[in-house]
Amino acid sequence: MTNQFVRCFTPLLLLSWAALAADQVVLTNGDTITGAIVKKDGGKLTIKSEFLGEVTMPWSAVKSLRSDAELSVVLPSGETVKGRIASAGDQLQIAAGTETKTAPLVGIAAVRDAAEQHHFERLLHPGILELWNGNLDIGLALARGNARSDMLSTAFTAGRNTRNDKITLYFNQIYSTARVNNLTSTIASAVRGGWKYNRNVSPRMFLTGFNDYEHDRFQNLNIRFVAGGGAGVRAVKSEHTQLDFDAGIDYQRENFLNGLNRNSAEANFGDNLSYQVSKGTSVTQSMRLFTNLSDTGAYRLNFDIGSSTVLKKWLGWHVTASDRFLSNPVQGRQRNDLLISTGFRLTFAK
């Protein structure tokens, strides 16, 4: 009888112990969620439940909470305290060793588990070689038979985003040849690259500087050099969407294969959008309009858009389009060049 009692009630006791050991959040509507508190970031609290996964709720909807594990809590004063937490009324108590600190629930700036705190601290003073992530895109197309053609497109992007600034590097090129009746010719040859640096001056505002290079054989463009700077605003920043606008001035030098050289000052305006469509698919878009201040009425437009779908953690499939419009090309050349490519995307992070 005793053994049967033990066999029947041991699972219940284990379940009860697990429930007591888990973090717990009680909402103002009476719902109770158990699991592991991940973070309180801004006005949102995230808890990871065994069956529901990560659940995010408004901090204002939290009636009470407690943790079994130690969490890092940022008090209204800015001080960070590490300990187990439990609420009492509208106050939060943090048991830090032999000391207990109390602060109003509404005034708590942040709550982080060990992983989130490590990530936060890593962003404070990272080395210049840390926090980089990026992609390498490769596209290849071949045709064999009466006509023979080869096309190779590559693109590389890398970014380093900290709490204070953001560095972006980019490079893309397309090269294509075709042979018909034993005559081979180049039908596409373009290279584009550059970098951009943003420095935050407030949660919404930033200063920016950039440097672009471009070669396009079929615009007769040997090299275009552009360097400039300005200021921007972060219009949207959410879990799935980020939208920035910025404007400024720049210097442009164009050197064409026919010997023509042009130097000019420009005013520019643009946007940068990133949108997470689903867990595995994202879309990025950037646009910049350059208005020539030295040659009134002349202008350039750069427009890039792309989507990427994750196949594995390090591998994806991309589709990108890159358009360049020049209002005053050299004689005999079209004003618009569009590059479209698709292929595999290799992802890295450091």
Over residues 127-172, the pLDDT tens digits come to 888 889 999 999 887 877 766 888 888 999 999 988 889 999 999 8
Q: Answer yes or no: do 72 and 146 share one domain.
A: no
At residue 147, the pLDDT reads: 67
273 shares its domain with 343: yes
Q: Which of 67, 93, 124 is the last residue of a domain?
A: 124
Do 103 and 146 share a domain, yes or no? no
| Mean pLDDT over the full length of the chain | 88
User: Which among 287, 286, 284, 347 has a CA at the least distance from the CA of 312?
Assistant: 347
Same domain, 184 and 220: yes
pLDDT digits (tens, 9 = 90+) for 104-117: 988 999 999 999 99
Same domain, 68 and 103: yes
| 275 and 296 fall within a common domain | yes
Instruction: Give the range of the structural domain holding residue 40, as residue numbers without chain letter.
Output: 14-124
Whether residue 316 sits in one domain with residue 223: yes
Q: Tell me which of 34-38, 47-51, 325-329 is least confident.
A: 47-51
Q: Is the pLDDT score of 244 beyond 70?
A: yes
Are 120 and 136 within one domain? no
Q: What digits encode the pLDDT tens for the residues 66-76?
A: 998 899 999 99
In this prediction the pTM is 0.74
Q: pLDDT at position 124, please?
A: 78
Query: Which has the closest alpha carbon to 65: 99, 98, 22, 116?
Result: 22
Q: Could you tell me if residue 80 is inside a domain?
A: yes
Q: 167 and 264 share a domain?
A: yes
Residue 29 lies in a domain: yes
Q: Which candidate, 284, 250, 295, places its Cα nearest to that of 269?
A: 250
261-286 mean pLDDT: 95
Nearest CA to 316 out of 346, 341, 342, 275 is that of 346
Number of domains, the chain:
2
The fraction of the chain above a pLDDT of 70, given in percent, is 93
pLDDT band at 6 (very low <50, low <70, confident <90, very high): very low
